[in-house]
Structure 1
Amino acid sequence: MRQQQATKAGFLVLTVAAALTACGGSDGESYPTLSGERPLVIGHRGAAGYLPDHTLEGYKKAIDMGADFIEPDLVATKDGALIARHEPNITGTTDVSQRAEFAARKTKKVVDGVEEEGWFASDFTLAEIKTLRAIQPLADRDPQYNGKFQIPTLEEVLDLAKTEGAKAGRTVGVYPETKHPTYHVNLGLKLEDRLLAVLAKYGYTTKAAPVIVQSFEVSNLKYLRTKTQVRLVQLVDADDVKADGSMSLVAPYDKPYDFAVAGDARTFASLLTPAGLKEVKTYADGVGPWKPYLIPSKQVDANKDGKPDDLNGDGKVDERDRVMMAPTDVVKNAHAAGLFVHAYTFRSEAKRLASDFKGDPKAEYQLFYQLGVDGVFSDFADHAVAARNR
């Protein structure tokens, strides 16, 4: 059984490469995207595979590697400034825990129904945030740049995209995410109006603007649609992927948090049904699903002992021991509803790649490109671009 599954998935990867060659390959004449244009490469948190998340240096590196968009996650400071951090809790992405002058700011807050302890952006002014430095949040990635880069504002990210895009002779877009909108509203720091005000200063108010705004919540996107015509994207999350490839939906990652507050029974998965996608189309231009919603993977139990097989024999079971399954209909149904699909998150480390790809991240990109995704959020924009151009 294991051999049959691996052979089938391997054939699918080979078919992808052949199909990309047939439809133009590197010259990008035709792709199975909603528009027929080549898929976008989005620098996820900058160049997160190489430099600490959400720094101007990381965003510049992503642009240099060919990213079409750079992605700042937005949270608000005490004085209402929008800064690029992955979460309101800045403990894991800055050196704040090492700053004696801020030791007393350590506290507990409830974010999307979960109590967290640490230091939170909303307890700091922008001037104080600017004294902090970014650190690499993943222990298995290069820490040598810890403490070297500042925390940027949204305006600084927008300025960088314009400046570096001009140098490169192309338009570089910015793809901000409003992080935990309900949490910020409860603090009196509504992100959406602040975001709109900044975008208006740059003249970014139309669908043609080099901006796409994304969120895991729904009501804030509906609000934004009444205020702006910039492109909006509904993000779709889950808690985990089960052994059989199905999605695990456990709070707080089971549904948009505004659904939880409103007592709405629908889950993230509900948004990706044909009916859900049609509703999303009423307020957004695209969907941003976690990639297992598009092509799942599963563990193998060839001898039926109830334990997943260690396919590569390294003594542990992880992503490298999963096998890819057949694609779902999400991309097809989203395109039928008129929505583009930007999938997340693509990472190049071998331990984060399923067995089918044999440690080659480009093979994973090509599989998703051939499926018809309209864009990919990548920690390694250079690999995403290389796979697109292959």
Structure 2
Amino acid sequence: MLRDSADRPLVIGHRGAPGYRPEHTAPSYELAFRLGAEAVEPDLVATRDGVLVLRHENEISGTTDVSSRPEFAARRTTREIDGTELTGWFTEDFTWAELSTLRATERLGALRQASASFDGRYPVIRLRDLLAIVDRASDEGDRMLRLVAEFKHASHFDALGLPLDELFAAELDSAGWGRGDERLIMEAFEPTVLDRLGVRGVRGSRVLLIEDTGTPWDLVLASGRQAPPYDSFATESGLYALAGRFDGVSVGKRRLVGPARRGTPAEVLGGADLVDAAHGAGLSVFTWTLRPENRFLAPARRHGAARGVWGDWLGEFRAVIETGVDGIFVDHPDLGLEARAVHGAP
């Protein structure tokens, strides 16, 4: 029987280990597990022929070499994604055979020159490729490794006839994962796709992502200006309303260790209060994304002015862990494990 880590919070390689290798590539995920990650998180988007691929967004000019490929120049277009107009190249305009010819680039390459030095070496991969990596790493390490699958722009893909929940269930079946199990965590900024995964009988935890601002796009489509904002889910009543429907919530780290936004209603919770209320409602709490570079740290934890220099990442990581969260998303899995070990040391 595979052994499961009893340590908490769960350390999740955010798109693999993009602090060291370009995100969403096979080497990034493989390195994440070698560094000790207990789970990895892919972002899922669809191709024109219904293949789930791993990319930060469905617009891929910032994460692949597509803009330098003359054979795809005519695919550049402008369209509206979740209410925002974007120009670029979109996965839904490519078949998997075409996307498989592209090479990945690190999205934060300007800050992470070490990771960006691998640009152009690794191909785009599919969900089924990552499932095989998880299975192989789990067997090699004799430990349970988890997959935290994030569904991106589900309403957009629904409108194109590419329902992500249906495609995901089919991929699990073909990869031998059946309908999922305790290894599987599913998350999305749109609650509707999480509901549909439950209706389909896909087993595993379902987690609602709570953005710092704004409103879930699926709720905007359904209710317009009457749609509840993300802040409404970060209240005590909002968390209890999610209980029984979902298994957890995932919040940006600013809700846990950052200053409250101006104009935030008093009932919107933050820090340990948010975590305690969620736990009281029977919900797990995850947070994203813990990164060591000055660019992503609170001003008081930065070292110097250079954006790519590492600041007091350990102090910030520990402050997040001290709120009692159940899982942390990290770009450098080894740093997440170090922070957890230091936090738990006498």
TM-score bracket for the superposition, by shorter chain length = 0.7 to 0.9
Q: Does residue 189 of the first structure (1) align with residue 168 of the second (2)?
A: no
Q: Does residue 256 of the first structure (1) align with residue 216 of the second (2)?
A: yes
Name the SS for the 1:88 alignment partner.
coil
Q: Which residue of 1 aligns with 2:208?
A: 234
Q: Does residue 75 of the first structure (1) align with residue 45 of the second (2)?
A: yes
Pick aligned residue for 1:343 from 273, 278, 287:
287
Deviation of 1:224 (Å): 1.3
Deviation of 1:164 (Å): 1.4
Gaps of 5+ in 1: 1-27, 30-36, 239-248, 300-325
- Whether the 8 Å contact between 2:25 and 2:124 is mirrored in structure 1 is yes
Q: Which residue of 2 aligns with 1:221?
A: 194
The one-letter amino acid paired with 1:203 is W
Pick aligned residue for 2:146 from 173, 188, 197:
173
Deviation of 1:204 (Å): 4.4
Name the SS for the 1:297 alignment partner.
coil
Name the SS for the 2:286 alignment partner.
strand
Q: Does residue 164 of the first structure (1) align with residue 122 of the second (2)?
A: no
Greater Rg, structure 1 or structure 2? 1
Q: Which residue of 2 aligns with 1:140?
A: 111
Name the SS for the 2:249 alignment partner.
strand
Question: In the aligned structure 2, how far is the partner of 1:76 from the partner of 1:115?
Answer: 19
The one-letter amino acid paired with 2:171 is V
Name the SS for the 1:329 alignment partner.
helix
Q: What RMSD in Å do the two structures reach over aligned CA positions?
A: 1.8
- Whether the 8 Å contact between 2:172 and 2:180 is mirrored in structure 1 is no
Name the SS for the 1:53 alignment partner.
coil
Deviation of 1:283 (Å): 2.0
Name the SS for the 2:63 alignment partner.
coil
Q: Which residue of 2 aligns with 1:305?
A: none
- Whether the 8 Å contact between 1:366 and 1:387 is mirrored in structure 2 is yes
Deviation of 1:206 (Å): 5.1
Q: Which residue of 1 aligns with 2:256?
A: 294
Question: In the aligned structure 2, how far is the partner of 1:55 from the partner of 1:203?
Answer: 21
1:49-108 CA distance string (max 9 Å, x none):
111110011001111111111111000001000000010101110000000010011111
Deviation of 1:225 (Å): 1.6
Pick aligned residue for 1:104 from 71, 74, 82:
74
- Whether the 8 Å contact between 1:92 and 1:137 is mirrored in structure 2 is yes
Question: In the aligned structure 2, how far is the partner of 1:168 from the partner of 1:342?
Answer: 24
Deviation of 1:220 (Å): 1.2
Deviates further, 183-192 or 195-204: 195-204
Deviation of 1:157 (Å): 0.3
Question: In the aligned structure 1, how far is the partner of 2:57 from the partner of 2:294?
Answer: 26
The one-letter amino acid paired with 1:296 is G
Q: Which residue of 1 aligns with 2:334?
A: 382
Q: Which residue of 1 aligns with 2:230?
A: 268
CA separation of 1:166 and 1:64: change in aligned 2, threshold 3 A: same
The one-letter amino acid paired with 1:383 is L
Q: Which residue of 2 aligns with 1:44?
A: 14
Question: In the aligned structure 2, how far is the partner of 1:60 from the partner of 1:298?
Answer: 37
Pick aligned residue for 1:89 from 46, 56, 59:
59
Question: In the aligned structure 1, how far is the partner of 2:335 from the partner of 2:240?
Answer: 33
